[in-house]
Amino acid sequence: MKMLAATISLMLFSIFVQGQNKNCAQKSMLLEKAFQRKSIKLLTVFLDDWHNKSIASKMNAKNRDSISSIIYSIHAALFDPFSYKNFGWPESDRTRFTGAKYIVIQDNIPFTLSKDVDTLDMEDHVYTDTLFHFRPDIKFKGVKTLFMLDEYRCVAQNFIQANTIEKEMEFYDKLNFMSPALKTSMRKDWTAIFTQPAIIGITICHDRLAIVDYYLASNGMRSMLRLENGRWEIKNTIELWIED
C-alpha cells in the first residue's frame, strides 16, 4: 500500500514539474523519489551532486574588491553553526546543526555603508547594496558546503511546499527525512533552508567596525565586530527578537 501511495505521489509530482527548466525538473524528481522511497542513498546522490556543482561555481567567482573582502572576512568571523559560545549564550555541546553532513550557505549578503553608527542600540537599517553570488571558503571537518545555485533554489521551492494542510504535514516528514544529512531551521518556508547564522544585513561603519544583524536558532541577533590585529572579532551581541 505504501509503495502504491509513493508511486501515485511521484506521478502527481512529475505533472507538477512539467514545463519547468529541465535541470530543475530532473533534480526535483530525484529528490522527491528519494523522499517517497525513504532512500538515504538517493538523498546522498542528490546532495553530493549539489556539492560538486557548488565547488565548480566557486571557480568562476569574481575577484573581490575592498568592500567584498570586508564582507567575506566578517562572515568568516561570525559563521559557526556548530558552536554558540561566540554569541553570548551558555556553552553547549550541541546546536541546531550538530551532526549535519551538509550546510547550505546564503548566496546574497545585503549591506550598507554608514559613518554614523557605532553602537548596537540603533534603528534597523535599510541596506542599500547587496553582495551577490556569495562564495566563501567554508571548512568544517566532515561537512560539505552547498551554495544556493539557481537550479537548486528551484528544486528547494518544488520540494518544500506547505501551502495546504496535507502539504504542511508532509513538510515535517520531509524535514525528518533530510535531517540525518541536512539540518535546517525551516518552518514551512523553503527560503529558510540556509544554515545559521544567516546574515540579514551588515552595516559597515568604517574599515574597522561593523554591525551585523543575523538569524540564529529562531532568534534575531545583532553583533558588533571590530578589526583587531588583522582579524574581525565579535565584541558584543544582543538579541533583537525571538520567533513564536
pLDDT over threshold 90, residue 138: yes
Q: Is the pLDDT of residue 217 over 70?
A: yes
pTM, full prediction:
0.86
pLDDT at site 9: 54
Percent of the chain beyond pLDDT 90?
54
Q: Tell me what the pLDDT averaged over the chain comes to.
A: 85
Q: Give residue-wise pLDDT tens across range 156-204.
A: 888 876 555 566 778 888 889 999 999 887 766 666 789 999 999 999 9
H/E element holding 4?
A: helix 2-17
Q: Are 232 and 76 in contact (CB under 8 A)?
A: yes
Q: What is the distance between the alpha carbons of residues 194 and 63, in angstroms, rounded to a whole number?
A: 24
Binned at pLDDT 50, 70 and 90, residue 206 comes out as: confident
pLDDT > 70? residue 1: no
Q: Over the stretch 115-131, which tens digit does the pLDDT of each residue have?
A: 877 778 877 778 999 99
Question: CA 223, CA 237: separation in Å to the nearest integer?
Answer: 4
Residue 16: the pLDDT is 47
Which pLDDT value is given to residue 45?
A: 96
Interval 37-57: pLDDT, tens: 999 999 999 999 999 999 999
Mapping DSSP onto H, E and C, the string for 195-237 reads CCCEEEEEEEEECCEEEEEEEECCEEEEEEEEEECCEEEEEEE
Give backbone dihedrals phi and psi of 38, rounded to 5 degrees, phi first.
50, 45
Which band of pLDDT confidence, cut at 50, 70 and 90, is reported for residue 13?
very low
